[in-house]
Amino acid sequence: MLLLLFGSFSLVYSSVAYYSLSRPPSQEFIAWGIFSPSGSLSNYFSGAGANVSVGQTLDWHFAITNQMGSIQYVKVIYRLANSTSPNPNATVPASIVPQLGNSSVFIPNGRMAFVNFTWSVTSKSSQGGMIFINMRINGQQVSPPVGAVGGQRFRFFFELWTFDIASSSFQYGYRGQSSRVGVPLQVWFNSA
């Protein structure tokens, strides 16, 4: 009788111990946004519409929050596109669109990291009605091969990639419950 009661009580209390020692289930995700100097998700061009003139410097930054349950190695890839370029989506990056550069950061779980994105148009040239721009991004000079008609409707694509230990490489998006989740951002602008 003692043994039976002992077994039953031990089972109940052990279940309580197991429950208290287990990690609570949580939805894993990475959230991010691109912020203007005022710290908002708008007013990227300081009231100048979406027009960017040659020599104008824009100080933006990304805020990336890691809720993946462990530290993550995150890479932000930036590309310059025009209105006809194929968009990145939740599953596929815009690999056809040329990459301008990237920034990487390690983010502990439950923390937010800030990544600077300071850029300017250093010069522009015209070719058959298309405007091509040279840019400086985070101190690096870049000459994207993408042009836009009349310099209108350029756009930045920002893609978030995370380091995948299994493949030992950066993979697009972050690891979701059943598949990877891409969360691209884009900002339109005109070269005035």
Partner 1 sequence: MRFRQRAPLGILLVLVFCLSVGNENALGQSNQIDDTQSRLVQAFVMVQQADLEGASPAQISLLANNLNLALGYEDNATLLFSKDINASNFYASKSASLSNATSAQALSLTSAARTQIFLNQVAAYSIAVAAGFGSALFVLELDRLDNLVRRMRLRRTRLD
What would the 3-class secondary structure string for 34-71 be?
EECCCCCCCCCCCCCCCEECECCEEEEEEEEEEECCCC
Give the Cα separation of 24 and 192 in Å (integer). 52
Residue 110 makes contact with partner 1 by CB under 8 A: yes
Binding positions for partner 1, 42-81, rule CB under 8 A: 69-71, 73
Q: In the bound complex, what is the minimum distance in angstroms from residue 186's beta carbon to partner 1?
A: 25
Three-class secondary structure of residue 13 per DSSP? helix
Q: In the bound complex, what is the minimum distance in angstroms from residue 170's beta carbon to partner 1?
A: 10
Q: In the bound complex, what is the minimum distance in angstroms from residue 114's beta carbon to partner 1?
A: 11
The residues, ordered by sequence, that sit 6+ positions from 119 with a Cβ below 8 Å of its Cβ are 57, 58, 60, 135, 136, 137, 138
User: Is 96:145 a contact under the CB 8 Å cutoff?
Assistant: no
Residue 2 makes contact with partner 1 by CB under 8 A: yes
Residue 106 makes contact with partner 1 by CB under 8 A: yes
Q: In the bound complex, what is the minimum distance in angstroms from residue 176's beta carbon to partner 1?
A: 18
Measured from the CB atom, is 40 or 104 closer to partner 1? Answer: 104
Task: Give the interface with partner 1 as residue ranges (CB under 8 A).
Answer: 1-2, 5-14, 16-17, 20-21, 69-71, 73, 104-111, 163, 165, 168
